Amino acid sequence: MNAFLESSTEATPDPDEGHQTKLVNQKQWELGYLKRKCRNLELEQYYMSYMNRLRLSHLGLFIFILILIAIVHSLLIIITFPKNENRDIYLDIGIYMGCTLIILIVLLFNFRLTLNKRYEWLTFSSIWLAISTLVIMDISIPIYHAVKDYNIIVPTYYSFIIYATYIFMPITEDVHAFMLGLSVSFCYMILFLFVTYRRRLDGSREMDVPKIVSEAIFMACVNLLGLFFRLTREVAIRTTFLDKRQCVEETLVLRAARDQEKSLLLSIIPAQIANKIEEDVKMRIEHLKESKKNRRSTHDGVHSTPTPLWRQMDTEKLFIEPHDDVSILYADVVNYTYLTTTLDVKTLVETLHDLFVKFDTASQEYDVLRIKFLGDCYYCVAGVPLPNEYHARSCVYLGLRMIKDIRDVRSKRKLDIDMRIGVHSGNILSGVIGANKWQFDIWSKDVDIANRLESTGEAGRVHVSGQTLQQLDGEFIYEEGTAKARDDPVLRKYDIHSFLIKPPSSRVTSFITMRRPPSSLRKNLEPKPMAETRYEVSTNFMQNSISQYNQIRNQATLEMSREVDKMPIGRIQVSKLCFGHEKRLTQDEMEGQIFRSNITSICLFFKDWRWELMFMKQPDFMLKYSVLVSYITLVCAIVMQAVNSTPTQAFWMLVTVGNALMLLLLTLVWYKKLWIMFISETELSRPKQKLSKWLYKLSDGIQSNILVRSCIYLVVIILHSTGIILQLLDCNKSAAVGEAILGTTRNETTCFNAWVRLSSNCNN
């Protein structure tokens, strides 16, 4: 069955794509794919760690159930056993309770995790010893009474023991569980052959072959159901692990995307304005949600009061801030037009990129905010968004640094280029304009003045206004401005006197290169880690993206180790009930506890019916396997009943109808998978014939439709339950009572073998 679960891949239409032909791979429900995926994502060790916790939880539940069954069984023996019989019931009770105590002691070693990790064979040995003790307990009593009193007692616990082998025992490999289950079945078959059914019920010495065959079929079904439970549980848990891994990775990706988005936003918008924009966007989203809620209430017949105009969102809100006492720097590349006509596009872009990267680095060093660059024009401002008492000196130092950088590029690339720079101090308005595409900019007459100072300046010189020169405190040597500046109408209009900062010597140039802002300025405007990494992300985007992706994968793997420890192993955890919480809950644990509080302890329903309905509407890709196993158990139950009694006409009618319905259901639920396995050329191809196409769609729709699935479940349950009712209706009560009085009861006239149908029905 394990190999069969791995044999093929299914695909189904994506419900979000409507009638499009896009298909979603369903390999996540194939056991082979799940195992490979877990190994590739390095989840196998975490899966095994969780399964060990889960198996220990199941083992604790098994011990509790075993003790409860032993106590209840012993009490029932004492209460119901006739007092006039000589059978020593207290010996039976002693065997039951004594073996239960031995099993409890043996299995308690499995809860010593350090001991089990050191000696792995100890777990397997304790399981075999516990199961062997259970089997000996159950078969010793029938053997004892058969030898002593010639009484035939049917063993009580054999189906429970086989089920416990597959469900409750902490066995890692399915093969080992299957071998242990077969060993238990073999022991009971020996008991049935030589003790329990060595004679018929009518007293003849012939072996009761029908009963032995029925028991063999019954135990085969129990082993099948136990193995099916283990495989489906592994599929469900591995799928949950992969979903959890994907959730963790997507959370990290989302967090990285938010950080990258924030970094990108801060690269064009100051932090203060960016924060205001974020708050405004959140308010608008909440406003839209409230509007949709009000429209929905109105549509449902509940008339809500219109929102007053004074409470409605301001759709024309501006994010503009005034800034006083700042310095504006305009820079322009001289001979840029000549470059555009002599250089190819690639070389031109590389040159500009080299220049502007150097300028951005220098602006960060001198705490100057770059506004933007237009072609060959680069302008920035100091004192925004936070005040800077050294704003004038920062701009002048930046201008001198830019002249040095462009001359380095000119020497490196053998180009005839230079910088013309203008600096002016004053007041500005800064903010974001635009609706679909935001643009951060600055406006004021002082911005225009700085622009005119640049255009009327001299190549390789920093052209400053008198207002800027006053704030330099005599730190630089200067001379009168250019004649163009004196004749410029804008500068004359605002009575601006300009000056040229003299080029520094080589010693001063070296000082400018290494110069950092003053210590008090660095203290106030210390760059944040996000700002420090912004330049690296912008210059090495591809390398950083690959590195970030690998970092996210590694971080997701480490995060999974913490998530596995927080994953619950049951709705009710005995350790927490007994010992409580040893530490304060983390935020993730509190969220998990809140989520679990929405699930009922009985039947594990969501307390919110809408959640439960959404959960029930999820496709059941394991439906076909469940229907197949149900059909196998139905056939086994029919064979068991046929060999134990004379089949009637009603019985054969039930067999015919039941087989027809189950074969029809099998055809419908398996058609898609079988078509992909044996007919499809590719995993995503679709049938073209009308009948085949209709069956394919029907098979795909059954596993996605909760109503159809519910009908299938009901049909399977009704078919298995009808056998019990039919046996009661076919029973000849008068003949059975007469045979019981005369002592001539024959196997052929036995009215009702309750365990035959009831056991098979419970299995399903």
Instruction: Write out pLDDT tens, residues 482-498.
Output: 999 999 999 999 999 99
Q: What is the rounded distance in angstroms from the CA atom of residue 316 to the CA atom of residue 296?
A: 26
Q: b or e along 529-566 (b: 16 or more beta carbons within 10 Å of the residue's beta carbon)?
A: eeeeebeebeeeeeebeeebeeebeeebbebbeebbee
Measure Cα distances from 255 to 248, 249, 388, 611 in Å: 11, 10, 33, 27
Reply yes or no on whether the pLDDT at 291 is more than 80. Answer: no
> Mean pLDDT over residues 530-544, rounded?
45
Instruction: Write out pLDDT tens, residues 575-597.
Output: 444 434 445 555 555 655 666 67
Instruction: Write out pLDDT tens, residues 364-390.
Output: 899 999 888 887 899 999 998 888 889
> Mean pLDDT over residues 528-540, rounded?
41
Sign of CA dihedral 592, 594, 595, 601: positive
Using DSSP's 3-state secondary structure scheme, residue 426 falls into strand
Q: What angle do CA 405, 411, 415 make, to 5 degrees?
A: 100
- Output 341 or 589, whichever has higher pLDDT: 341
Q: How confident is the model at residue 650 (pLDDT cuts 50, 70, 90)?
A: confident
Are 40 and 158 contacting, i.e. CB atoms less than 8 angstroms apart? no
Are 761 and 753 contacting, i.e. CB atoms less than 8 angstroms apart? no
Tokens of 672: 């898609």
Is the N-terminal amide bond of 308 cis, ω within 30° of 0?
no
Q: What is the rounded distance in angstroms from the CA atom of residue 469 to the CA atom of residue 475?
A: 9
Phi then psi dihedrals of residue 569, to 5 deg = -110, 5
Q: How confident is the model at residue 215 (pLDDT cuts 50, 70, 90)?
A: very high
pLDDT the model gives residue 524: 41
| DSSP for residue 42 | T
Instruction: Write out pLDDT tens, residues 228-244.
Output: 999 999 998 998 888 88
- Output 29 or 143, whichever has higher pLDDT: 143
Are 126 and 164 contacting, i.e. CB atoms less than 8 angstroms apart? no
Using DSSP's 3-state secondary structure scheme, residue 323 falls into strand
Listed residue (156, 139, 163, 138) closest to 222, CA to CA? 163
> Mean pLDDT over residues 700-716, rounded?
90
pLDDT the model gives residue 605: 77
Measure Cα distances from 192 to 93, 214, 219, 246, 757 in Å: 22, 11, 12, 52, 19
Using DSSP's 3-state secondary structure scheme, residue 663 falls into helix
Instruction: Write out pLDDT tens, residues 734-745.
Output: 555 545 444 444
pLDDT the model gives residue 251: 86
Listed residue (222, 82, 89, 66) closest to 149, CA to CA? 89
Residues in a beta bridge with 430: 321, 442
Tokens of 527: 């760059």
Tokens of 253: 């990706």
pLDDT the model gives residue 755: 45
What beta strand segments (E) does 335-485 contain? 369-374, 377-382, 418-433, 439-443, 462-465, 478-480
Range with the largest mean pLDDT of 260-264, 279-283, 330-334: 330-334
Listed residue (132, 156, 128) closest to 142, CA to CA? 156
The residue whose two tokens read 């905010």 is 369
Domain over 323-524 is classified CATH 3.30.70.1230: yes
Listed residue (321, 313, 322, 292) closest to 304, CA to CA? 292
Residues recorded for the chain: 764
> Mean pLDDT over residues 455-475, rounded?
92
- Output 596 or 445, whichever has higher pLDDT: 445
Number of Cβ within 10 Å of residue 270's Cβ equals: 19
Using DSSP's 3-state secondary structure scheme, residue 331 falls into strand
Express as a percent the part of the chain with pLDDT over 70: 77
pLDDT the model gives residue 570: 59
Instruction: Write out pLDDT tens, residues 401-430.
Output: 999 999 998 888 888 889 999 999 999 998
Q: What is the rounded distance in angstroms from the CA atom of residue 270 to the CA atom of residue 277?
A: 11
User: Residue 389 belongs to what H/E stretch?
Assistant: none
pLDDT the model gives residue 312: 44
Tokens of 400: 């001198």
Q: What average pLDDT is seen over the chain? A: 79
> Mean pLDDT over residues 435-457, rounded?
88
pLDDT the model gives residue 750: 47
Q: Lowest-confidence range among 103-107, 323-327, 636-640, 733-737?
A: 733-737
Q: Lowest-confidence range among 256-260, 293-297, 350-354, 701-705?
A: 293-297
Express as a percent the part of the chain with pLDDT over 90: 34
Instruction: Write out pLDDT tens, residues 77-98.
Output: 888 887 666 567 888 899 999 9
SS3 sequence of 468-524? HHHCCCCCCCEEECCHHHHHCHHHHHCCCCEEEECCCCHHHHHHHHHCCCCHHHHHH
| DSSP for residue 443 | E
Query: Given the DSSP bridges, would you call strands 462-465 and 418-433 parallel, antiparallel or unpaired?
Result: parallel
Using DSSP's 3-state secondary structure scheme, residue 73 falls into helix
> Mean pLDDT over residues 707-720, rounded?
91
The residue whose two tokens read 């010992």 is 579
pLDDT the model gives residue 298: 58
| DSSP for residue 606 | B
- Output 391 or 440, whichever has higher pLDDT: 391
Q: Sketch the domain layout of the chain as residue ranges.
A: 40-251, 271-304, 323-524, 621-764
**Which are the contacts of 761, defined by CB distance < 8 A and separation ≥ 6?**
637, 720, 721, 723, 724
Phi then psi dihedrals of residue 25, to 5 deg = -70, 135
Reply yes or no on whether the pLDDT at 530 is more than 60. Answer: no
Predicted TM-score (pTM) of the model is: 0.69
Reply yes or no on whether the pLDDT at 621 is more than 70. Answer: yes
Cβ-based burial of 42 (10 A; exposed 0-12, middle 13-18, buried ≥19): middle
Q: Lowest-confidence range among 5-19, 60-74, 464-478, 502-516?
A: 5-19
